[in-house]
Structure 1
Amino acid sequence: MFVLPVRFERSPRLHAMLSEEAHAVGTRVVVQGKRGPEVATVRGEAAPPEPQGRYGAVLRAATPDDLGRWEALHASGEDLKWLLRARARQKNLPVKVVAVEFTLDESLVTVSYSADERIELSGLIGEVRAHTRARVNFAAVGPREQAQMIGTLGACGRENCSSTHLQDFAPVSIRMARDQQLPLNPEKLSGPCGRLLCCLQFEHTQYLDLLKDLPRKNARVCHEASGACGKVTKLHPLAGTVDVFTDQGVLTDVPATELRRLTDAEIKALPDGGRGGRPGKPARDR
């Protein structure tokens, strides 16, 4: 027996499936998933199974008949999706039908939808049953799952990460943007789904390591070479420098390795008690 990583059509997530054959990467296979038999694509090399692993099953390599039936069911699902969207508008239902998917044996049809509030779907269930004898399952999806299933373009100009390679939706917080010294602009920090960009987490641990060697914002520091002291106003983790607003009213960019952080006693001894001036429009030292 072998374990094969396979991918379904509407998600980049890899699912481990037991198989009697080591199918090549790119092979389309029929698998027994949670919903029933479906067509998936092999996306990795075969590996031996683990004793405690939980796996689905690869039933067989997809035949031309399987693929023809799968494409026909996909087309039927698309037609039914647009019909349900039209019926939802007619009934003034605040719901968006994201996808309609059949299992290969047409025993189950899953209608994925998004809605901002709890709604009554009995009217749409009747529409589905009027076009298929399959058992109907309505599944609510969130904004990130919706972007994953539909596929969108990100601010980088490439297809969004959630529909190309992300295996799970890791928590993303505004603190990650602060640590990376990004402007806290919702339009810049939000993805097509309207939530914080998933990619904020990709380099977050690297930024945390870089920030360990930098003084904190508003810290009082002195430049060892010139003796000028001031307050840190901005951090540049990748460059390893900080902006310092000096007591002489000059804003200068200084390598963090050339700065000395003042002790609490030195700060208290300052005339202003370490509060420092508020930078208005200082001249930048070049």
Structure 2
Amino acid sequence: MQIQPVRFERSPQLHAMMTEQAYPVGARVVVQGKRGPEVATVRGEAEEMPATGRYGMILQEATQEDLERWAELGREAEDLKWLLRARARARNLPVKIVAAEYTLDASLLTVSYSAEERIELSALIQDLRSHTRARVNFAAVGPREQAMMLGALGACGKENCSSHHLQEFAPVSIRMARDQQLPLNPEKLSGPCGRLLCCLQYEHTQYIELLQHIPRKNAKVCVEGSGACGKVVKLHPLQGTVDVYTDQGLLTEVPAADLRAQKDAPQENRPRRNG
């Protein structure tokens, strides 16, 4: 028995599935996962199965009939999604219907939704009873999961990371933006989901390393050679320089290697240390 990674349509996340035979990358396969049988795409080579772990199963390569059935169920689920949106709007329910997906055997309909507060969904479930015989499961999703499922363009002009390649949502904090000397503008720092950009985490480790070798903002420093002293007002970690506003009222960019702390500088204004 081997494992092989597959990807479902609404997520870039890879899921390891057990398989008795290796399938070519790009092959459409029928898999047995947590929800039931679904169609997925093989996204990696087969590997030896680890001794521990819980995995779904690749049942077979999808036939033309499977693919046609999957496409038809997708259209039916899309119609039900818009039906639910209309019914929720008519009832003034504060809920957003994000997506609806059938399993390949049409036994389960999963409806993904978002709401800022707890809401009663029984009325929407009843609305579905006359349109499907499938068991209905409503699954709440967060803003980042919405962006992953719906897709969008990021500020870079490319598909947003959450729907393109991210395998997990790592914590992102405003401190990352501060460390990268970015302007704290919510519109510039937020992704399509309205949360902080996932890409802020990509280079954060490198910035932390660079910041260890330059003074902190507002530190009192003196310039070697010239003897001019002043306060650090801006950092340029990538260049290894800082802007110093001197006691004489001049603003100058100085390499961090040419600076020393003023003897009377307070402890908290000394260069950044790790931890």
Q: Aligned AA for 1:258?
A: D
Deviations 1:129-180 (A, max 9, x none): 2111100100011111011100011111111000000001111111111111
TM-aligned CA deviation for residue 59 of structure 1: 0.5
Q: How far apart in 2 are the matches of 1:236 and 1:128?
A: 57
Q: CA deviation at 1:69?
A: 0.4
Code of the residue aligned with 1:71 in structure 2: it is A
> Would the aligned equivalents of 1:242 and 1:255 in 2 still touch at CA under 8 Å?
yes
The residue that corresponds to 1:142 in the other structure is 142
In structure 2, what is the Cα distance between the partners aligned to 1:104 and 1:135? 13
For residue 245 of structure 2, give the secondary structure of its aligned residue in structure 1. Answer: strand
Which residue is equivalent to 2:240? Answer: 240
> How far apart, in 2, do the equivalents of 1:179 and 1:213 lie?
13
Q: Say whether residues 1:5 and 2:5 are aligned partners.
A: yes
* Counterpart in the other structure of 2:273: none
Query: What corresponds to 2:161 in structure 1?
Result: 161
1:185 counterpart letter in structure 2: N
Q: Shift of the alpha carbon at 1:63?
A: 0.6
Q: Map residues 1-286 of structure 1 onto 2, 5 A cutoff.
A: 1-264=1-264, 267=265
Deviation for aligned residue 1:45: 1.0
2:89 & 2:219 partners in 1: Cα distance? 57
**Identity %, equivalent residues:** 74
* 1:208-264 Cα distance to aligned partner (Å, 9 max, x none): 000000011111111112111111111000111000000100000011111112234
Q: In the alignment, which residue of structure 2 is the partner of 1:284?
A: none
Q: Which amino acid aligns with 2:189?
A: L
Contact 1:129 1:136 in 2 (8 A): no
The residue type equivalent to 1:150 in the other structure is L
Amino acid paired to 1:263: K
Secondary structure of the structure 1 residue equivalent to 2:52: coil
Give the SS at the match of 1:112.
strand
CA distance in 2, matches of 1:17, 1:239: 46
Residues in 2 aligned to 1:52 and 1:20: alpha-carbon distance in whole angstroms: 17
- In structure 2, the residue corresponding to 1:231 is in which secondary structure? strand
Question: What one-letter code is carried by the residue in structure 2 that aligns with 1:241?
Answer: T
Give me the whole-angstrom Cα distance separating, in 2, the residues matched to 1:47 and 1:198.
30
Large movers: runs of 4+ above 2 Å:
none
Aligned mates of 2:73, 2:82 — CA distance in 1: 14
- Secondary structure (helix, strand or coil) at the match of 1:257 reads helix
Distance 2:230 2:93 in 1: 60
Structure 1 contact 221–232 (Cα < 8 Å) conserved? yes
Helix, strand or coil for the counterpart of 2:47? coil
Instruction: Please report the TM-score for the alignment, with normalisation by the length of structure 1.
Output: 0.91
Match of 2:10, as an amino acid?
R
CA contact (8 A) 1:7 1:41 kept: yes
C-alpha displacement of 1:55 = 1.2
Q: TM-score, normalised by structure 2?
A: 0.95
CA distance in structure 2 between the partners assigned to 1:231 and 1:119 by the alignment? 54
CA contact (8 A) 1:221 1:262 kept: yes
Deviation of 1:53 after TM superposition, in Å, equals: 2.4
Determine which structure has more spread, i.e. the larger CA radius of gyration: 1
Post-superposition CA distance 1:29-56 (Å, at most 9, x none):
0001100000000001111101112211
Runs of 5+ unmatched residues, structure 2: 270-275
In the alignment of these two chains, the number of paired residues is 267
Partner of 1:271 in structure 2?
A: none
Q: Distance in 2 between matches of 1:166 and 1:15?
A: 13
- Conservation of the 8 A alpha-carbon contact between 1:96 and 1:113: yes
